[in-house]
Structure 1
Amino acid sequence: MKENHQSVPIILIVDNSRALTGALHAILHTCQALSSEYSFKFVLPAGSQARATLAHRGYATYEIPFIEISRRPKDLLLYVPMLLLNGWRLAALVRRERAAAVHMNDFYNLTGVIARLLTGRPLITHVRFLPHTQLQPLARTWRWVAEHLAQRVVCVSEAVYSYFRPLPQVQVVFDPIPEGEKYPPTDLAPRPDGTVRLLFLGNYIMGKGQNFAVEAFKAAYAQQPNLRLHFAGGDMGLEKNRAYRRQLEATVAAAGLTQVVTFGSFVQDVEAAIKQADIVLNFSESESFSLTCLDALYFGTPLIATDCGGPAELFESGRSGLLVPNRDVPAMTQALLRLAADAELRREFAAAGREFVRHKFRAAATYEQLGKLYSEVLKK
């Protein structure tokens, strides 16, 4: 495990992820960049698949049996008592580790608020999804709690920030670009076999947009049979996500496209996957930021994304990628046809995207800003 020095403040990162998600990846990048100034320890849900990855990277991890609000009667009955119990558990962990602050990497996990009230330690709340898309009585409650009880509210995009009141403690800190590249830039020259390979990188979750990609591909393939589409992502160990993947596969099979549309599992080497593609797709219905889009732009593979929140802030549509209306399959189809047919346009988008994100999401706008935020909170 990473060695802790008495002079280095300890920050407890609480993340509700049951698998390795974009949100967890983003905060992990930040922890690595700030490891000389702070010591980070993680608190995850019981049984999280992400624990092994964090342990492999040397981070101490703890588990708490978090319960989220859902429509299931059992969860509704247990939510309040478990919130109080888990808040007490987190407070005990804060005291035992002598943590200087608690950083909640989830807007809706209120255990940090309980720990804040019990210990008096500073609380930082990171908002990594669009509150506009949630059930509003709940979202407004989470917003009020964050604005009144957290020392800082960190929004990952301007789209998220627009939901909050313009308060001094509420600010935008973009997620960071990857640190360097392992492989040469994407080779966007036409392939010898004439195919154009599309990559949809995202976990199999309803709302992520794989269903729209299938429909758009079906229409585009009828006009350009050189197209190939590959889906890559995990199911996070949830049956509803496995069922969603099976539904997608059944739709592809019914359309007779199993030879040109393939399905893969979670990708460990994101850079390699992106650089093997000619175009990256993200047709999500709601994204607060989208690390997938940022990675595609950074690694230099042309991007087509939906106007669903954060992605619109990551690139300039028509110059470094194509932004299409949310849930608009005909627009997705036309974007696919346009970009797949024009290799020179793909090269132009790739170069412009690499340049844009390297400027907008440089260290001063990400790691340094969050490091400054920690320093300000701990001085109070």
Structure 2
Amino acid sequence: MRTGVLYLNPYGAIGGAERALLELLGELDRTRFAPVVVLGEDGPLATELEKQGIETIVEPFSSPPLYRLAWPSTLARLARAAWRIRRLARERRPRILHCGDVLGLLLLVAARPRGTRIVCQLNYLGGAPRRWALAALALPAVHRLLAVSAQQPEQLGPAPSLLAGRTSVVPPGIRVESFAGGNPRELRQALGLTEDVPLVGLVARYDTWKGHGVFLEAAVRIRKSRAGVRFVMVGGDLDGRPLPHLRRYRDQVLRRRRELQLEEAVAVLGHRDDVPAVLAGLDVLVCPSDHEPFGMIVLEALAAGTPVVASDSGGPAEILEPDRSGLLFPTGDARALAEAVIRVLEDDGLRARLAEGGRRRVRERFASARYARDVEALYAGLA
């Protein structure tokens, strides 16, 4: 008899956590496990899940700003969502409930039928005290917390102490072949660039810890010695409805781009679904986040053969082997980032070594099949 697993995700759009979910479900042994995914909204994620033959149910619930959680209307809406999810869980009778954010965790704790086990893969909690309070209320009910990198428990503050002996580090994985063979002309044609123009990119949604400011400061320094280098920021908002502080952050990034007189040198593109083509069009991918929990885009760039320069904290510091599969720079140091990018652009041998080393690193350590087997073993231990 197969073990039922119910996955709960509030978003219908596809970000890094959603791409990791797609990779997991694409490799999950369906002779042993019966997955069903519940989404808080319709969108591209539902389409991709259905392509994989995964039962997908949309039960509308949205992730409200923290300051609205105590509002009666918000509590009533979440209570209705929890009731619907509980009813669904009773119908499907899953043994495992798997979520990836605080809202999903709260709903699963409220909706959990007796005898089920909760697996929580918290990708990012942030530093808001109210979020910590919510996590503290819900985490004791979790049977297993999945950390996506060894450093992540430190970033989660008090969370590991609430789950002593119940935390496992399981890095996500990808399929190398999915990112090989992207057409580099697609991105460059969209930007009006020829193939001989060096292009450095940041691929990330607009969030306060993604390091857009460091990227722009580094661009200024790079252009002082390599005036012909062009840059691009690719990414949008995960659900198309940015919270006020994220909208302000995006406006600050674009304003800083104007202040640094980079409007011609740094192109801005919104969300793109053709990630392999975007990565193939770049000479260097930069990941300047100040505390990236994991960094799916780093893995994807390695698989595409695109050299990566990333900050030396969080997941990228564990993914990359310095000078073998990527370069690391001190977090927040725009000068060091610029120097690393220039080094890659000017050294053909280094670029080739990083491209080959990156693909090897993904195959050996971060393959999606390994990811699925690790998660399956965890499920089996709980079931």
Structures share fold, TM-score greater than 0.5: yes
Are 1:21 and 2:18 counterparts? no
- Within the candidate set 96, 106, 112, 2:108 is matched to 112
What is the distance in 2 between the residues matched to 1:326 and 1:242?
24
- Deviation per residue, 1:70-122 (Å, 9 max, x gap): 124x7544455544443222111101223232111224531111122x43322
Report 1 or 2 for greater relative contact order, CA contacts < 8 Å, sequence distance ≥ 6: 2
Question: Residues 186 and 299 of structure 1 are in contact (CA less than 8 Å); yes or no, is this contact kept in structure 2?
Answer: no
Matches within 5 A, 1:38-117: 38-46=33-41, 50-59=45-54, 60-68=56-64, 70-72=66-68, 76-109=71-104, 110-116=106-112
Are 1:139 and 2:132 counterparts? yes
Question: Residues 69 and 75 of structure 1 are in contact (CA less than 8 Å); yes or no, is this contact kept in structure 2?
Answer: no
Question: Residues 198 and 230 of structure 1 are in contact (CA less than 8 Å); yes or no, is this contact kept in structure 2?
Answer: yes
What is the distance in 2 between the residues matched to 1:250 and 1:10?
49
3-state SS, counterpart of residue 59 of structure 2: strand
What is the distance in 2 between the residues matched to 1:259 and 1:25?
31
- Within the candidate set 335, 356, 363, 1:351 is matched to 356
Question: Residues 123 and 152 of structure 1 are in contact (CA less than 8 Å); yes or no, is this contact kept in structure 2?
Answer: yes
Question: Residues 13 and 42 of structure 1 are in contact (CA less than 8 Å); yes or no, is this contact kept in structure 2?
Answer: yes
3-state SS, counterpart of residue 5 of structure 2: strand
3-state SS, counterpart of residue 103 of structure 1: strand
Question: Residues 312 and 323 of structure 1 are in contact (CA less than 8 Å); yes or no, is this contact kept in structure 2?
Answer: yes
The alpha carbon displacement at 1:179 in A equals 4.8
- Deviation per residue, 1:167-218 (Å, 9 max, x gap): 443211110122524644999xxx9875211121111233222222112102
Letter of the 2:174 counterpart: I
The alpha carbon displacement at 1:232 in A equals 1.3
- Within the candidate set 204, 207, 224, 2:206 is matched to 204
Are 1:237 and 2:240 counterparts? yes
Determine the structure 2 residue equivalent to 1:170.
Answer: 167
Determine the structure 1 residue equivalent to 2:226.
Answer: 224
Are 1:304 and 2:309 counterparts? yes
What is the distance in 1 between the residues matched to 2:131 and 2:249?
26
- Within the candidate set 214, 217, 221, 1:215 is matched to 217
- Deviation per residue, 1:324-350 (Å, 9 max, x gap): 222222222222222222222122222
Question: Residues 67 and 82 of structure 1 are in contact (CA less than 8 Å); yes or no, is this contact kept in structure 2?
Answer: no
What is the distance in 2 between the residues matched to 1:182 and 1:320?
16
Letter of the 1:158 counterpart: A
Q: Which region of structure 1 is more displaced relative to structure 2, 338-347 or 90-99?
A: 338-347
Q: Which region of structure 1 is more displaced relative to structure 2, 251-260 or 91-100?
A: 251-260
3-state SS, counterpart of residue 224 of structure 2: helix
What is the distance in 1 between the residues matched to 2:102 and 2:375?
17
* TM-score between both structures, scaled by the size of structure 2: 0.84
Q: 1:47 to 1:299 in 2, by over 3 A?
A: closer
What is the distance in 2 between the residues matched to 1:177 and 1:377?
25
3-state SS, counterpart of residue 367 of structure 1: helix
What is the distance in 2 between the residues matched to 1:333 and 1:91?
51
- Within the candidate set 361, 369, 373, 2:374 is matched to 369
What is the distance in 1 between the residues matched to 2:210 and 2:226?
25
What is the distance in 2 between the residues matched to 1:249 and 1:342?
31
- Within the candidate set 152, 160, 164, 1:160 is matched to 152
3-state SS, counterpart of residue 11 of structure 2: coil
**Which ranges of structure 1 fall in alignment gaps of 5 or more residues?**
1-6
- Within the candidate set 3, 11, 14, 1:9 is matched to 3
Letter of the 2:14 counterpart: L
What is the distance in 1 between the residues matched to 2:289 and 2:204?
9
Are 1:281 and 2:286 counterparts? yes
Q: 1:82 to 1:184 in 2, by over 3 A?
A: closer
Question: Residues 213 and 283 of structure 1 are in contact (CA less than 8 Å); yes or no, is this contact kept in structure 2?
Answer: yes
Q: 1:140 to 1:343 in 2, by over 3 A?
A: farther
* TM-score between both structures, scaled by the size of structure 1: 0.85
The alpha carbon displacement at 1:369 in A equals 0.8
3-state SS, counterpart of residue 361 of structure 2: helix
Are 1:180 and 2:177 counterparts? yes
Query: How many equivalent residue pairs?
Result: 364
Question: Residues 181 and 304 of structure 2 are in contact (CA less than 8 Å); yes or no, is this contact kept in structure 1?
Answer: no
What is the distance in 1 between the residues matched to 2:175 and 2:81?
34
Question: Residues 24 and 368 of structure 2 are in contact (CA less than 8 Å); yes or no, is this contact kept in structure 1?
Answer: no
The alpha carbon displacement at 1:372 in A equals 1.4
What is the distance in 2 between the residues matched to 1:276 and 1:197?
8
Identity %: 25
What is the distance in 1 between the residues matched to 2:229 and 2:172?
32
